Structure 1
Amino acid sequence: METTTELHKITLPVTGMSCAACAVSVESMLKSTAGIENAGVNYANQSVSVSYDPGAVTLQQMDEVLQGIGYGLIIEDDEDDAVAEQEKIQHAHYAALKTKTIWAGVLTVPVVILGMFFMEMRFANYVMLALTLPVLFFFGRDFFVNAWKQASHRKANMDTLVALSTGVAFLFSTFNTFYPQFWHERGLHPHVYFEAAAVIIFFILLGKLMEERAKTKTSDALKKLIGLQPKTVHVIRNGAESEINVKEVLAGDEIIIRSGEKIPVDGKVLSGSSFVDESLMTGEPLAAEKSAGSQVFAGTINQNGSFTFRAEKVGKQTVLAQIIKTVQEAQGSKAPVQKLVDKIAGIFVPVVIGIAILTLIVWIFAGGDNALTHGIMAAVSVLVIACPCALGLATPTAMMVGVGKGAENNILIRDAESLEKAFRVNAIVLDKTGTLTQGRPAVTDWIWKVENTDQQKHLAAARALESRSEHPLAAAIVQYINAPSNVNVSRFASVTGSGIRGAVDNVEYLIGTLSFLKSENVDVSDGLVREVRNLSEQAKTVIAIAADQQIVALVSIADALKPTSSEAVAQLKKQGIEVYMLTGDNLQTAAAVAKQTGIESYRAEVKPADKMQFISELQSKGKVVAMVGDGINDSQALAQADVSIAMGKGSDIAMDVAKMTLITSDLMILPKALKLSRKTVATIRQNLFWAFIYNVIGIPIAAGILYPINGFLLDPMLAGGAMALSSVSVVMNSLRLKSARL
């Protein structure tokens, strides 16, 4: 009888991965290991998920397999310890890479100066050799190590091209430094290419440093989300209050929450009342009122009151834990595609090597006098002119100028991927609160129902009473009136969910909803009811003020639209982009805002996971989706989107997850960001053209194709010059972006 082995699934941090090709190597090695059913590498968060038979293979054995090709697994009993260890390794790697890049730059500058302007100086070659040696084989040794790893798996990438070209240039230059007579005896000049080798290593290191810096920041959002949960919590067990670690909380525990504390787990309020900031879930600026029977969620923040609640979902079951998990998975599902230059290098490197070898063979058999000498010279020229300096500069130079151009226009760009994708965006999802609107409630209308002579008295009374209220809308009224009032308040009372009452200088005031005033026997006319209904249809919350049973004013409060929101939406639609709006707010408010901005497609009362699901649905239809948001509740959707854009005045978590940030709150910057993307991508493509046109023309000439026709054989020094010219062309073309109009 056959027995079915139960597979275990585990996710472990991976160390040593520096590119997408590394992720492929890790995945393929694990998949080929006996006992492992499946393995999937998440390059974005440097982890691997493995399904395996624990009876056939252990975690230690998996680690040993990866150690053999230069990678490793972090195996810890506690998941938090493993993540902490991974972060420690990543920060150490970034610090080491930064040091290598700085020192490589320090040593490269004098090599370039000597090689370009003082090449005839006595002992110049020996000085350049001494300075280039550590640049290549100490600060740049990872390129050679990675190239060897790729070769051992019969693959090639940018590291292969870098190692091959710099290695050949260095060895050829070293030979010419110590044995110049070999070429002098044959009537040729022994040129050296130390500066080319050093410059290539430095620029590629600089590009990797920028990439690593962006990658280390991707985990910041997750750390901040995790930080929303308190470390300790006050629970009631056996009738006594005690403080325990949040990890020890069990479903069914009674938990006490005091003013200003964060809620540690999901649950239901048992007693007490308060207002809780739930922007984590809804994105809305107004705190939600909580009383017995209300649901509360981990990571939300209690405001003024206190209450006791029963824990229902703890640990990985909480809504906050699910947000953290989905943000992590969404980031991972967008693991950076292998760079275009890596893909090109996979074909280009073998072709160049093949041409160099073929060139040497043809010269040996058909070269006549000095066939071997000319063959070696031609083969080296082929490798030198195919040097990847321009190829390596094509993307980073355009990106550096594009990023700078973005900063000038209040667009903060985190990485190349976002700019490369943004020009293809054909659907944009906008959060409402803080993106289309100001993100805070404010008084929009103050409609008086009494004569001017009494208005100042009522304003002073309203401010005095509202300053004592804990309701979130009270702050908007206090801020609107602004001037402090010197009045005597007595008999103040708050009626939960309805309004407040109190006496000011012996005048009885009622402030709250129209239904509250009706319940207090205030006469409310039909005309007043219609007026309130009209204001409510404009997504405004209406509060009535009554003095001695007579209504004296109506106050409407709303999260007002930003002045440029409608124009920005119109411009996006003019570019042929579909615009959607998602909000956690109610349907009436969503409809009003959509109508004001000209957005036809919108959804209301959506939860964070719903936003992410909506974007996933658009992507499944072939849309390239950009998400624009500003809150914690947008973080999952931002991570899922092809291009994620945060508003600069939003939450830190939204800005960390997003690959672009609009530094101002002006949504008109969004069309500019998309235009910048189009121009930057066009520049990158032009750069790649210039990087290759020299190779297409130069490699056959370097191989000696013109020699039978006119006796011309390309000198390696001229080959080096052509390579340098292609790099200059790339840099100059990138600099044109600075003057582009957005």
Structure 2
Amino acid sequence: MTDHEIVYMGMPHERVLRPRFYLAVALTLPILLIAMGPMLVPAWSHGFPGLSHTANGWLQAVLTTPVFFWSGRFFIRRWWYSIRERDTNMFTLTVTGTGVAYFYSLVALIWGDHFPAALLTDHGAPLYFEATAFITTTVLLGQIMEQRAHARTESAIQSLMDLTPPTAHRLDADGNETDVPLKDVQVGDRLRIRPGENVPVDGEVTDGRSELDEAMLTGEPEPVLKESGDTVSAGTVNTSGTLVITARQVGEDTLLAKIIKLVEEAADSDPPIARLADRVSDFFVPTVGAIALVSFLSWTIFGGDQGWLWGLLNAVAVLVIACPCALGLATPVSIVTGIGRGAQAGVLVKDATALERLAHATTLLVDKTGTLTEGRPRVVAVTVAGGGDPGPGSPSPATEESILALAAAVETHSEHPLARAIVDAAKERKLTIPDSTDFASEPGQGASATIDGHTITVGRAAADAKVDSHPHASLVAVRRGDEELGLIALEDKIKASTPAALKALHHRGIKVVMVTGDRQASAQRIADELGLDAVHAEVTPERKQELVNAAKAEATHGATIVFAGDGINDAPALAAADVGVAMGTGTDVAMNSAGLVLVRGDLAALAAAVTLARATLRNIKQNLFFAFFYNSLGLPLAAGLFYPFTGWLLHPMFAGVAMSLSSISVVSNALRLRRVKLD
């Protein structure tokens, strides 16, 4: 195994594990059929048809060997590390159990006739090859699920990297332009950025005027005017005019590179939760080992001439009966069932451990735009300036409808978010939009067009302009020549489902805090209207992550912090949070950085996800109990504790019954999650 194959918790990329899983499934199914067939088909009471008991055993051994050694190779590696480092975990328990079952079965197959009669069945010594193959296969499935979740973080990082162009247009002293690889750009270089292109580096505008889409940084949809002296950031999009900038930060010093680094550090430094199975293993492994050792020594000392043989077989019996066949099922079956139930409720679970973390959620930090709000501006009011005239030859004064129709006629030619909102509003009101010609756009000032021989301009309103009914709205003024006809107010509305969703989250004991790049006044208005517990406005992507880390530091032991967002600027915070929740309507970067995705793009499903997470965690704990309970009952019997008083020893069939009962209990219990109520 090469170093580059190792991606997460000592395990390789899931593309390396998949072929091993497919082979394990292909070989385990016939092993189970051979071993368990006699229990299902009475005609097979003497083994697989046409084969003797010994031949059946050797066939199982041949099929199990590649499953244990090749498909389970990485588990054996992890087992060895846990022994060497004295750090027990799930692999310590499972590989110890599967290894003992495998090697004991080989010994029983070869020398079983020499075992004491009390430990033999009608067909000789019992074999446990099917337990080895089945446990290895199911644990491998769980590891593939984990590696897929980690691979999505890598995809999020790659999506961020793709925001910068591979080349830049560099200008020399004479103004001649040459395309150069981005890595060759130096601080002080002059670069040209054409409309529609991504900014390659952080810099300062030295020539030109344009509007840049900075949603990746602020999360806000409205482009920002940039002119001489203003700063620009790598990865933002030039929407209209041509700019010439001087590079100030390049390579790893750009803001985008720092965001990428934040995501990488969050993914690497945020270790997975300690599995419940690992915590059980911390106690169970030493206990079982001690029982096996005491059993061997006791039989050796007090068992007579063949005491060492009885001690050895009973020690093996202890390790075999302690191997919980259902352990490999305990977590994966509950998680898979929970994932399916979540999908029905509009919750896409991408990271299996996110469900367990979400069960302990105490604080939700949530982005505003696109998460609490719809993420797109809408016309909320139109006001008429006194004495305005909608057009030549019209004796009637301007009306809200005529102002909106004229504005829509101009903005039909524009792709600006506010322009689209105005056009959509006119269409919703079924207004007749007049024809316009000679469209022109002036970055930062607005747009103009000729309608019926007159110039109509839609642009920024005066600094002191206001609409009393919407004091925090964005305003645009509609003018005919130098005459102002009226104002159009636009706001990003709160999603209809948000108030009920927040109420449900509060009911589940979760504190909700808004973190947004929007201005303080607008953010505070939303927070007051929704009754949020706190608000942080005008924050950068780095600051969002800092707020997440601060909340994690202040959280009580066992509590988890959730962050919900939909934009590129949310990626560092999504990766840093204990649970990242992305909107299904958001960016690919956000969804790849998150552990859960709300398919419909609103928080209404998050409260249901919390309920599901808590139900799933309870189910996993119950499954772990079933996985160990039946096996643990047999430990004293396997060790020979009752032999001096009753003459009882562990009959081999008891181990098979215990394994079957634990597996059946685990599967049956996990399936109950399909019916759990989430409202």
TM-score, structure 2 normalization = 0.89
Q: Indicate the residue corresponding to 1:198 in structure 2.
A: 133
CA contact (8 A) 1:585 1:604 kept: yes
**Residues 626-637 of structure 1 aligned to structure 2 (within 5 Å):** 626-637=562-573
Given the superposition, is the C-alpha separation of residues 352 and 15 from structure 1 closer, same or farther in structure 2, using an over 3 Å criterion? farther
Matching residue within 567, 574, 589 for 1:653: 589
Structure 1 CA distance for aligned equivalents of residues 373 and 160 of structure 2: 24
**Tell me, which stretches of 5 or more residues in structure 1 are unaligned?**
1-12, 23-45, 47-89, 519-528
CA contact (8 A) 1:630 1:655 kept: yes
**Residues 699-710 of structure 1 aligned to structure 2 (within 5 Å):** 699-710=635-646
After TM superposition, the structure 1 stretch with the greater mean CA deviation from structure 2, 114-123 or 642-651, is 114-123
**Which SS does the other structure have where 2:408 is aligned?**
helix
After TM superposition, the structure 1 stretch with the greater mean CA deviation from structure 2, 564-573 or 278-287, is 564-573
Matching residue within 198, 212, 237 for 2:147: 212
**Residues 10-21 of structure 1 aligned to structure 2 (within 5 Å):** 15=4, 17=6, 20=9
Q: Indicate the residue corresponding to 2:411 in structure 1.
A: 466
Correspondence 1:269 to 2:205: yes
**Which SS does the other structure have where 1:512 is aligned?**
strand
Matching residue within 625, 630, 636 for 1:689: 625
CA contact (8 A) 1:352 1:382 kept: yes
Q: CA deviation at 1:264?
A: 0.3
Matching residue within 222, 227, 234 for 2:162: 227
* Identical pairs, percent: 38
1:172-224 CA distance string (max 9 Å, x none): 22233334432486783221111111111111111122222222222111111
Given the superposition, is the C-alpha separation of residues 174 and 289 from structure 1 closer, same or farther in structure 2, using an over 3 Å criterion? same
**Residues 430-445 of structure 1 aligned to structure 2 (within 5 Å):** 430-445=366-381
**Counterpart residue type for residue 109 of structure 2:** T
1:277-315 CA distance string (max 9 Å, x none): 101111001111222222111000111221111111111
Q: Indicate the residue corresponding to 1:249 in structure 2.
A: 185
Q: CA deviation at 1:267?
A: 0.9
Matching residue within 472, 493, 503 for 1:570: 503
Matching residue within 325, 338, 348 for 2:284: 348
Structure 2 CA distance for aligned equivalents of residues 588 and 148 of structure 1: 58
**Counterpart residue type for residue 640 of structure 1:** A
Q: Indicate the residue corresponding to 1:100 in structure 2.
A: 20
Given the superposition, is the C-alpha separation of residues 697 and 213 from structure 1 closer, same or farther in structure 2, using an over 3 Å criterion? same
**Counterpart residue type for residue 98 of structure 1:** R
Give the number of aligned pairs. 647
Matching residue within 144, 158, 181 for 2:90: 158
**Counterpart residue type for residue 534 of structure 1:** D
**Which SS does the other structure have where 1:308 is aligned?**
strand
1:427-482 CA distance string (max 9 Å, x none): 11110000001111122334567869977765553322222456541221122223
**Which SS does the other structure have where 1:219 is aligned?**
helix
Matching residue within 530, 543, 546 for 1:613: 546
**Which SS does the other structure have where 1:426 is aligned?**
strand
CA contact (8 A) 1:570 1:598 kept: no
After TM superposition, the structure 1 stretch with the greater mean CA deviation from structure 2, 720-729 or 627-636, is 720-729
CA contact (8 A) 1:535 1:556 kept: no
Structure 2 CA distance for aligned equivalents of residues 564 and 536 of structure 1: 22
**Counterpart residue type for residue 422 of structure 2:** I
Correspondence 1:110 to 2:57: no
CA contact (8 A) 1:395 1:687 kept: yes
Q: Indicate the residue corresponding to 1:326 in structure 2.
A: 262
After TM superposition, the structure 1 stretch with the greater mean CA deviation from structure 2, 626-635 or 139-148, is 139-148
1:698-738 CA distance string (max 9 Å, x none): 21122122223332211122123212312221222111111
Structure 1 CA distance for aligned equivalents of residues 435 and 633 of structure 2: 90
CA contact (8 A) 1:304 1:470 kept: no
Structure 2 CA distance for aligned equivalents of residues 347 and 484 of structure 1: 73
Matching residue within 277, 281, 286 for 2:222: 286
Correspondence 1:427 to 2:358: no
Matching residue within 310, 314, 324 for 1:388: 324
**Which SS does the other structure have where 2:493 is aligned?**
coil
Given the superposition, is the C-alpha separation of residues 429 and 507 from structure 1 closer, same or farther in structure 2, using an over 3 Å criterion? same
Q: Indicate the residue corresponding to 2:519 in structure 1.
A: 586
Q: CA deviation at 1:361?
A: 2.4
CA contact (8 A) 2:401 2:431 kept: no
Given the superposition, is the C-alpha separation of residues 184 and 497 from structure 1 closer, same or farther in structure 2, using an over 3 Å criterion? closer
**Tell me, which stretches of 5 or more residues in structure 2 are unaligned?**
39-44, 391-395
Q: CA deviation at 1:613?
A: 1.4
**Residues 717-728 of structure 1 aligned to structure 2 (within 5 Å):** 717-728=653-664
CA contact (8 A) 2:8 2:147 kept: no
Structure 2 CA distance for aligned equivalents of residues 125 and 709 of structure 1: 35
Structure 1 CA distance for aligned equivalents of residues 119 and 655 of structure 2: 18
Structure 1 CA distance for aligned equivalents of residues 435 and 327 of structure 2: 76
Q: Indicate the residue corresponding to 2:616 in structure 1.
A: 680
CA contact (8 A) 1:536 1:542 kept: no
Correspondence 1:598 to 2:598: no
**Residues 355-394 of structure 1 aligned to structure 2 (within 5 Å):** 355-367=291-303, 371-372=307-308, 374-394=310-330
Given the superposition, is the C-alpha separation of residues 512 and 159 from structure 1 closer, same or farther in structure 2, using an over 3 Å criterion? closer
Matching residue within 533, 558, 562 for 2:467: 533
**Counterpart residue type for residue 467 of structure 1:** T
1:320-342 CA distance string (max 9 Å, x none): 11111111112222122443423
**Which SS does the other structure have where 2:514 is aligned?**
strand
Structure 1 CA distance for aligned equivalents of residues 535 and 402 of structure 2: 43
Given the superposition, is the C-alpha separation of residues 276 and 126 from structure 1 closer, same or farther in structure 2, using an over 3 Å criterion? same
Q: CA deviation at 1:682?
A: 1.0
Matching residue within 167, 173, 187 for 1:238: 173
Matching residue within 111, 126, 134 for 2:66: 134
Given the superposition, is the C-alpha separation of residues 147 and 512 from structure 1 closer, same or farther in structure 2, using an over 3 Å criterion? closer
Structure 2 CA distance for aligned equivalents of residues 18 and 707 of structure 1: 50
Given the superposition, is the C-alpha separation of residues 705 and 242 from structure 1 closer, same or farther in structure 2, using an over 3 Å criterion? same
Q: CA deviation at 1:601?
A: 1.3
Q: Indicate the residue corresponding to 2:421 in structure 1.
A: 476
Correspondence 1:506 to 2:453: yes
CA contact (8 A) 1:644 1:660 kept: yes
Larger RCO (alpha carbons 8 Å, 6+ apart): 2
Given the superposition, is the C-alpha separation of residues 470 and 112 from structure 1 closer, same or farther in structure 2, using an over 3 Å criterion? closer
**Counterpart residue type for residue 114 of structure 1:** I
TM-score, structure 1 normalization = 0.81
CA contact (8 A) 2:584 2:591 kept: yes
Structure 2 CA distance for aligned equivalents of residues 550 and 380 of structure 1: 95
Correspondence 1:169 to 2:101: yes
Q: CA deviation at 1:17?
A: 4.7
The Cα RMSD (Å) is 2.8
Structure 1 CA distance for aligned equivalents of residues 439 and 143 of structure 2: 64
Q: CA deviation at 1:350?
A: 3.3
**Which SS does the other structure have where 2:18 is aligned?**
helix
CA contact (8 A) 1:390 1:730 kept: yes
**Counterpart residue type for residue 204 of structure 1:** V
CA contact (8 A) 2:210 2:444 kept: no
Q: CA deviation at 1:573?
A: 2.0
1:72-125 CA distance string (max 9 Å, x none): xxxxxxxxxxxxxxxxxx5xx532311011111110001111111236222322
